Amino acid sequence: MAEDTEPERRRTLADKRKRRALGWIWAVPIAALGIVIWLLLRSLSHRGIDVTVVFENAAGMSANSTKVTYRGLNVGTVSSVALADDGAHIVPHLDLNNDMERFLTTGARFYLQGVQPSFSDPESLKSIVSGPTIVLVPGPGAPARQFRGTPGEPPEPFAVKVPYLVRFQGAVRDIPVGSSVTLLGFTVGEVRSVSLSVDARTGQLSTPVVVSLDPTRVHIRDLRAHDSWVGVMNQTLDKLVQHGLRARLTQTPPLIGRPQVMLDLVADSGSAQLTRGADYPEIPTVEGGGLQGLTRKLGQLPVKEIGDNVREITTRLKTLTSSPQLDDAVQQLDRTLRELQSTVHAAGPQVAPTIASIHDTVDSLRKTAGDIDATAAAAKRTMGGAAASPDGNVQQALRELTEAARAIRALADYIDQHPESFIRGREGS
């Protein structure tokens, strides 16, 4: 029996080998992940203190551009600026250096400097280009991270603040709260408050300004340890007011600068004293000096009366220059002189004028002199008298007319007495 046998099939076996060439592909994402983690840790390690400050207006603040300073040193920057939930305030987030944590207390203040550039402070003009700066002023209190900011310049640090009142008559321009109070050019205090007051009985307007003065800025002599600053300052101001100390408003630069309160010694200011008011002692005031005082004085000039006088003088000058008598006298004088010149020229050394023609010439000269005198007198009456005439040129013209009449009259008298002078000429000539 034949055995059916199938040929044995051979199986192909796969040989599995580990390929190590693909391992480098995972190195790239692992390295990238490591770099990201390193950058994140580096960013977190260098991140400062996050502080929020609420302002009324952004006033040009911008993220990563607006600086935060402390005593002129950059200590942080604005990381972001957002609108508050109430829609009426701006909340910038500040990224401050870690070493500023000890100054972040409830008494700290943040001022937005450069909001209102002024010619009186050239340093503030750079904010037009660079934008505002947030200034940190430390203060006492517990640690804090949220603050309310104040627009404007940070106040100067004063060791002692003694309040006084200065009252300016009428309504004056707004005086910035926190602006400096100077004494003979030295800063001795600041403006504390400004208000408007009306006397219901008299209806008089006034502007009471409360200022704080620092006695340590004045360097008062003979100060004893047990003396109080208030008593010493009051006693010192009492003496100064008796010697002419007054408060006045000034502007630096004049006209365009911000108004400031200045204490100054004013000569011939009259007698006064430091008044003990209901709230604060009151320092007497005077009108502002410089261009401001000059403007007030110019406003008190009698402009209307000056204008009326100028119009009256102009009218009189016009009447005089258009006077027909003056014009006729000048024309008559011109004709007489021409006739005289013609007569003298025609006479010659050999042809003597007749006695009749000589008498006619003398009469004509005297009549001309009389006409000139009458015209000059009429002009003086028109001008209200030669002494009161305001125009020197007119006075000179009247004097010359009078001198001309006198000379013509003298010539007529000489010809009348010496008719032979037409032939021989004047003696001594």
Q: Is 1 contained in some domain?
A: no
Q: 75 and 141: one domain?
A: yes
Tokens of 192: 């504390």
Q: What is the pLDDT of residue 273?
A: 86
Q: 401 and 359: one domain?
A: yes
Domain count, the chain: 3
Q: What is the pLDDT of residue 371?
A: 73
Q: Is 41 contained in some domain?
A: no
Q: 277 and 199: one domain?
A: yes
Q: Is 411 contained in some domain?
A: yes
Q: 112 and 187: one domain?
A: no
Where a domain ends, among 237, 269, 299?
A: 299
Q: What is the pLDDT of residue 68?
A: 94
Residue type, 288: G
Q: 171 and 256: one domain?
A: yes
Name the strand (E) or helix (H) holding 342: helix 324-347
Task: Please give the chain's pLDDT, 429 residues, in tens.
Answer: 444 555 555 655 555 555 555 556 777 777 777 787 777 766 655 568 999 999 988 888 889 889 999 988 999 999 999 999 888 899 999 999 999 999 999 999 999 987 765 555 555 555 556 678 999 999 889 999 999 998 888 878 888 899 999 998 866 767 877 888 999 889 999 998 888 888 888 888 888 999 999 998 888 877 776 678 888 899 899 999 998 899 988 876 666 667 889 998 888 777 888 888 778 999 998 876 544 555 555 555 566 676 676 677 777 666 666 666 666 666 776 676 676 666 656 655 444 455 666 667 777 777 777 777 777 776 766 665 544 444 555 666 667 677 777 777 777 777 777 766 655 555 554
DSSP assignment, residue 145? S
Q: What is the pLDDT of residue 386?
A: 43
Q: 258 and 362: one domain?
A: no
Which candidate, 101, 85, 87, 96, places its Cα nearest to that of 52?
96
Q: Is 14 contained in some domain?
A: no
Q: What is the pLDDT of residue 281?
A: 93
Where a domain ends, among 88, 120, 151?
A: 151
Q: Is 79 contained in some domain?
A: yes
DSSP assignment, residue 177? T
Q: 181 and 295: one domain?
A: yes
Q: What is the pLDDT of residue 389?
A: 45
Q: 203 and 282: one domain?
A: yes
Q: 128 and 202: one domain?
A: no
Range of the domain at 125: 46-151
Q: Is 175 contained in some domain?
A: yes
Q: 294 and 171: one domain?
A: yes
Q: Is 57 contained in some domain?
A: yes
- Percentages helix, strand, coil for the chain, rounded to the nearest 5? 40, 25, 35
Q: What is the pLDDT of residue 330?
A: 67
Q: 52 and 141: one domain?
A: yes
Which candidate, 317, 326, 313, 337, places its Cα nearest to that of 378?
326
Q: Is 361 contained in some domain?
A: yes
Name the strand (E) or helix (H) holding 247: strand 245-251
Where a domain ends, among 242, 274, 299?
A: 299
Q: 120 and 202: one domain?
A: no
DSSP assignment, residue 266? -
pTM of the predicted protein model: 0.50
